Structure 1
């Protein structure tokens, strides 16, 4: 657990790695980071062996990792992340004594039949259960692989919104300060639902990442893109 005396923190959030973690080492803020947050999709329909390769690559730059499955990761990866510690899916962790981080991995149903897809009712149940603990902290960060529906973070070509209705409804009611998401590579964007800042960095291979900061207890999220992305 971080020291209660420390005032300023930085976490780097990425997602949709898909077995290609190489660009992570190019993030210039790595030396300052207190931890890494992975929104999901470590692999391309991969299991534990593939996920372990990705996690090992990232842990070489920072040993503090919070991660969860995306829709492209096999369900066995969820259990493995729990064994390792730091699994976000359906769980609550303490970023600082004042900040909770909690997550929901996988995605709602897609036309592609990917390994970890779930009904909206499951997302609602997971979110509401986690929120009972996360809400006890002064500040909270939700990590949802699936972006909330009808935002700049869930739109695909043709101006079609494909995000989660359950995630959106949760954010509208609960209003955590930050929601980090992914899943829709082409929807790299920052948006807002009420008081909640929603950020999708897109796929890591395309250079997107988020700087999540706590400065004197004030949370902020900044969307960044690597040079030559």
Structure 2
């Protein structure tokens, strides 16, 4: 299985259609910030562009998307924020959109307590899916965690001045649950990757600056997951 993930679109997809294999990928994941302070119509514009290239999409809002984007994604049944998805019985996805609190008072920000509540809700669903899929002769599928906000104190949450601004709730979740991957964004200048325990964390930066992630899942090798930052 091949998955292409990117985010921090901000109404500019750049040359995303030129990503190798994007038309035939099994799934496209949009990690947040589809718009710049936009709502339903702006999100629809971006999603239409992406789905014209590949209709198999899951997405979530970022902090610069208005809350109505969350409602719209639910209506399309492609939302990841605060919930989990079992995809083709080969991988479990769970999402956390928006961001922790910022000085800028953007449209979709949450306290760390609110983020933790959403994480617990999504992980409950994920565990149920994984237990169901892993019953009988099947092994539990790998868990991929999509968080618009990066975990605190990593290479993926550092501003140019060196200050770390990621989420404590996201970090605590990763430390405890150890998903295979954490795909994040939000801090554009912190494009890069890091590890927390066994969890590979990747921030591709902005898509219009040609940042994206390629994920391969080998179901013949117990769901082995390989992610490459491009």
Determine the structure 2 residue equivalent to 1:81. 73
Contact 2:204 2:211 in 1 (8 A): yes
How much has 1:199 moved relative to structure 2? 0.4
Any stretches of 5+ residues in structure 2 without a counterpart?
131-139
The equivalent residue for 1:43 is 35
Query: Which 5+ residue runs of structure 1 have no aligned equivalent?
Result: 1-8, 225-229
- The answer (yes or no) to whether the contact 1:86–1:93 under 8 Å persists in 2 is no
Which of the numbers 107, 114, 118 marks the counterpart of 1:122?
Answer: 114
Of residues 6, 16, 30, the one that matches 2:8 is: 16
Deviation string 1:62-110 (CA, Å, 9 cap, x unpaired) is 1011000000000000001000011000111112313210100000111
1:44, distance to aligned residue in structure 2 (A): 0.2
**Separation in 1 of the partners of 2:226 and 2:126?**
18
**Partners of 1:165 and 1:132 in 2: how far apart?**
20
2:136 matched residue in structure 1: none
The CA distance in 2 between the partners of 1:79 and 1:207, in whole Å, is: 28
The whole-number CA distance in structure 2 between the counterparts of 1:19 and 1:171 is 30
What's the counterpart of residue 137 of structure 2? Answer: none
Question: Does residue 1:221 correspond to 2:227, yes or no?
Answer: yes
* In structure 1, distance between residues paired with 2:181 and 2:91: 11
Distance 1:206 1:98 in 2: 30
Alignment of 1:80-229 (within 5 A): 80-136=72-128, 137=130, 138=140, 139-216=142-219, 217-224=223-230
Tell me by how many angstroms 1:210 deviates. 0.2
C-alpha contact 2:81 2:96 (8 A) present in aligned 1: yes
Aligned residues: CA RMSD: 1.0
- Alpha-carbon distance in structure 1 between the residues aligned to 2:177 and 2:108: 25
Partner of residue 134, structure 2: none
- How far residue 22 of structure 1 moved from its aligned partner, in angstroms, is 3.2
How far apart are residue 190 of structure 1 and its match?
1.0
Shift of 1:215: 1.4
Match of 2:57 in 1: 65
The match for 1:4 is none
Contact 2:14 2:210 in 1 (8 A): no
How many residues are matched? 216
Q: Which runs of 4+ in 1 moved over 4 A?
A: none
TM-score w.r.t. length of structure 2: 0.92
The answer as to whether partners of 2:14 and 2:209 remain within 8 angstroms in 1 is: no
For residue 31 of structure 1, give the secondary structure of its aligned residue in structure 2: coil
Counterparts of 1:188 and 1:122, CA distance in 2: 26
